[in-house]
């Protein structure tokens, strides 16, 4: 450490003003100095601004609070690992020295000090601490950059998933808001009811993201069936039903998606979001809790959205009519527990549509 290079502030804690002035002169070529007449004042200054000090030079015998007592306070606060502390004392007994080292001091230096020795011992440690701090800051900076890059990759992946799902909705004559509403309804039910009990937020976000891909299999359905502005024939309906299996198979063929946390949820929801609680759904005829919670929620959200939204083959039903139809089982049988929780937050669900309504959006076909 060259002379004239100020590398921080030393805190000189000693009840003897002459001793403090001697130390200030010794270190004047390297640091600015701050003074404290006893341990109590020294502790107050350190706690007020711990990052200010590059080192503390500490006497032992002082009024109000001695050096060892100050060390004990700093140890409790975890500051002895962040600020190098040196005991500079004429009272360096074995007992004091042992406790000082146990409390984390860097060195114990006897008075009277020899300038070039105390300079060398203090400067070496300060340089080490500052180098360690620079390295730590660099590591933190690199970690922040990596986290930012990782977040960009996550956002890109999610953006691609949403783009694919939205493109299919456009092909189906919709605006793409359908998949966003299914996502928001799924997320709302898991976060704001006990349906999500036991799930962490990451799992909830992954299920909500997976819900966006529920109709991805419609990409394999012919336009003449997908956009037919009338009731499908039994034969056409059988073809339409294959969008569930086609969707799961499509997702399984995207290798990049397999590494995503939402992959298993997405495959399950794509295949099973038309299963029904009474076993009369498709494609596998699952019944009751054989159907995953995610698929059950998306199934109900999908039916609700289809009812309250305009389609090319029907006008939008009112909320009251839609809820009555769902309660009466006109759109299939749902898990009573799930239905109860949905009805409890339906006003919040309906609020998701207000923005779309105010913007004058309309929605097209969805069988």
The pairing of beta strand 53-58 with beta strand 32-36? unpaired
Do residues 233 and 240 make contact, with C-beta atoms less than 8 angstroms apart?
no
DSSP string, 237-257: HHHHHTHHHHHHHHHHT-HHH
Q: By C-alpha distance, which of 295, 258, 324, 326 is closest to 182?
A: 295
CA angle 140, 141, 147 (to 5 degrees): 85
- Other C-beta atoms closer than 10 Å to the C-beta of 75 total 16
Q: Which of 133, 138, 218, 287 is catalytic?
A: 218
- Other C-beta atoms closer than 10 Å to the C-beta of 229 total 11
Helix (H, G, I), strand (E, B) or coil at 58: strand
Q: Is 317 exposed, middle or buried (0-12, 13-18, 19+ CB in 10 A)?
A: middle
Active site residue 241: no
Q: Is 76 exposed, middle or buried (0-12, 13-18, 19+ CB in 10 A)?
A: exposed
Q: Render the burial of 78-100: b for 16+ CB within 10 Å, e for the rest.
A: ebbeebbbbbbbeebeeebbeeb
What the block records as the tokens of 58 is 């500490």
Q: By C-alpha distance, which of 183, 181, 234 is closest to 209?
A: 183
- Other C-beta atoms closer than 10 Å to the C-beta of 150 total 10
Omega of the bond leading into 225 within 30 degrees of 0 (cis): no
Q: Which residues are catalytic?
A: 218
């Amino acid at each position: 450490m060259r002379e004239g290079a100020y590398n921080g502030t030393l805190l000189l804690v000693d009840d003897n003003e002459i001793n403090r002035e001697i130390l200030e002169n010794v270190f004047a070529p390297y640091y600015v100095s701050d003074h404290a007449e006893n341990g109590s004042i020294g502790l107050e200054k350190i706690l007020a601004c711990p990052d200010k000090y590059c080192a503390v030079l500490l006497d032992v015998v002082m009024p109000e609070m001695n050096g060892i007592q100050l060390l004990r306070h700093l140890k409790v606060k975890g500051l002895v690992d962040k600020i190098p502390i040196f005991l500079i004392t004429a009272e360096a007994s074995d007992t004091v020295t042992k406790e000082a080292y146990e409390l984390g001091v860097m060195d114990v230096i006897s008075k009277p000090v020899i300038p070039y020795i105390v300079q060398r011992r203090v400067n070496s440690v300060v340089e080490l601490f500052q180098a360690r701090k620079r390295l730590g800051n660099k590591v933190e900076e690199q970690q922040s950059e990596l986290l930012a890059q990782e977040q960009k990759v996550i956002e890109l992946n999610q953006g691609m998933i949403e783009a694919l799902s939205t493109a299919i909705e456009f092909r189906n004559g919709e605006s793409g808001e359908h998949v966003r509403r299914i996502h928001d309804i799924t997320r709302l039910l898991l976060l704001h009811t006990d349906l999500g009990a036991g799930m962490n937020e990451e799992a909830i976000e992954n299920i909500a993201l997976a819900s966006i891909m529920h109709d991805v299999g419609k990409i394999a359905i012919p336009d003449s069936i997908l956009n037919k502005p009338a009731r499908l024939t039994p034969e056409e309906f059988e073809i339409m039903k294959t969008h569930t299996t086609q969707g799961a198979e499509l997702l399984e063929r995207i290798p990049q998606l397999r590494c995503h946390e939402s992959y298993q949820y997405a495959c399950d929801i794509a295949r099973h979001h038309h299963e029904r609680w009474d076993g009369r759904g498709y494609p596998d005829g699952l019944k009751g809790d054989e159907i995953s919670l995610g698929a059950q929620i998306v199934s109900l959200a999908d039916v609700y959205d289809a009812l309250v939204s305009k389609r090319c083959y029907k006008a939008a039903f009112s909320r009251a009519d839609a809820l009555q139809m769902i309660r009466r089982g006109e759109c299939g049988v749902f898990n009573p527990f799930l239905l109860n929780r949905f009805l409890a937050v339906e006003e919040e669900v309906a609020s998701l549509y207000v923005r779309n309504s105010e913007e004058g959006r309309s929605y097209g076909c969805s069988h």
